Structure 1
Amino acid sequence: MIALFRFLVLGFVAMTVVYISLSLYSRAVRREKLEQEWDDEVGEGDRELFIREGLEEYDRSLRRKLILGVYVVPAILVGTIVYIINYM
């Protein structure tokens, strides 16, 4: 039982590190695209306001929520493997 608990804790820590890394990377890529869009197309007004509004829109987007799959997909896979090994 202790081995299972240790596995779950280490798995959660690993998934959290992956989630944070993916989240920061995705946000940085979106910020870079917004900056590039500003430089190429808009060019007028407040650049920081444009980027801030774009990032706020990104925070509410589906892409941001899909990154939570880092927690869901491995948990489902491990659960499925455990079920198959023990009950089939």
Structure 2
Amino acid sequence: MIALLRFVILGFVALSVVYISLSLYSRAVRRERLKREWDQEADAGERDAFVRAGLEEYDRSLRRKLILGVYIVPITVIGTIIYVINYT
């Protein structure tokens, strides 16, 4: 039982590191895309306000929520493997 608890804790820490890294990378890519979009438009207003508004929209987007799949997919796969090996 201690081995399972240790596996769960280490797995959660590893998935958290992956989630945070992926989230920061995705947000940085979106910020750069917004800056390039602002540079291409002739009359876009203030750059910082444009980028801020775009990032607020990004925070509510489906893509941002899909990053949570970092937790859901591995846990589901591992749980399924454990069930199939032990109970079939």
- Tell me the TM-score range normalised by the shorter chain: over 0.9
Deviant stretches of 4+, over 4 Å? none
Bigger Cα displacement from structure 2, 70-79 vs 37-46 = 37-46
RMSD: 0.9
Give the alignment's TM-score, normalised by structure 2.
0.97
Aligned to 2:62: 62
Question: In 2, distance between residues paired with 1:48 and 1:42?
Answer: 15
* Structure 1 residues 23-77: Cα deviation after superposition (integer angstroms, max 9, x where no partner): 0000000000000000012454211000000000000000000000000000000
Aligned to 1:10: 10
Aligned sequence identity (%): 72
Unaligned runs of 5+ in 1: none
- 2:41 is the alignment partner of 1:27: no
User: In structure 2, what residue type is equivalent to 1:34?
Assistant: L
Unaligned runs of 5+ in 2: none
Aligned length: 88
